[in-house]
Amino acid sequence: MKEGFDFLGFNLRHLGGKLLIKPQKKKVLAFCKKIGETIKQKKSATQEEVIKTLNPLLRGFANYYRGVVSKETFNYIHYRVWKYLFNWAKRRHPNKTNGWIANKYFRKVKDNRWTFACNGTGRKGTDVLWVLYDISSTPIVRHVKVKGTAS
């Protein structure tokens, strides 16, 4: 158990009398690669379309791994997604400066200056602020044991 083993996308190992469960490294890297390929396929898409495509992927991954020790993993994925999106924006505007690109595609939302967001239209034609899901802000929810007679 000290070396650990992988099971259902999780890495389980025993450290200092505690069971440590983390997302499997291979799955995390495969997910980052999938995000990168998805963004690469959206070269000519609008910012709104990119956000609509990425949000379900990010939410699904976060919901699957939010019950284990995954805060560092979520921060790493957030960083990788930011890099992919900044490169996507730089490709669209090769002659513009990094500051101009940052002002156009990234906004300050809830004290985070680097939030990928844009104005768009909602279902009923109303103006909506489309914001990319921040996977690093996903709360870690621990499993609560069922009381002895409740099961």
The per-residue pLDDT for range 56-103, each reduced to its tens digit, is 999 999 999 999 999 999 999 999 999 999 999 999 999 999 999 999
Average pLDDT over residues 128-136: 92
Residue 109 carries which DSSP code?
Answer: E
User: Token pair of 142, please?
Assistant: 């621990």
pLDDT at 111: 81
d(CA 107, CA 103): 7
pTM above 0.85, yes or no: yes
In angstroms, the CA 25 to CA 148 distance is 35
Token pair listed for 89? 């924006």
User: Alpha carbon of 132 to those of 45, 118, 144: distances in Å?
Assistant: 15, 9, 30
Res 139: pLDDT: 93
CA atoms lying within 13 Å on the CB side of residue 138: 30
Share of the chain above pLDDT 70, in %: 100
| DSSP states along 7-46 | ETTEEEEEETTEEEEEE-HHHHHHHHHHHHHHHHHTTTS-
Please give the mean pLDDT across all residues of the chain. Answer: 92
* Closest alpha carbon to 116 in 65, 80, 148: 80
pLDDT value of position 66 = 94
Helices (H) and strands (E) in the chain, counts: 4, 6
Range with the lowest mean pLDDT among 19-23, 51-55, 75-79, 122-126? 122-126
21 and 12 Cβ atoms separated by less than 8 Å? yes
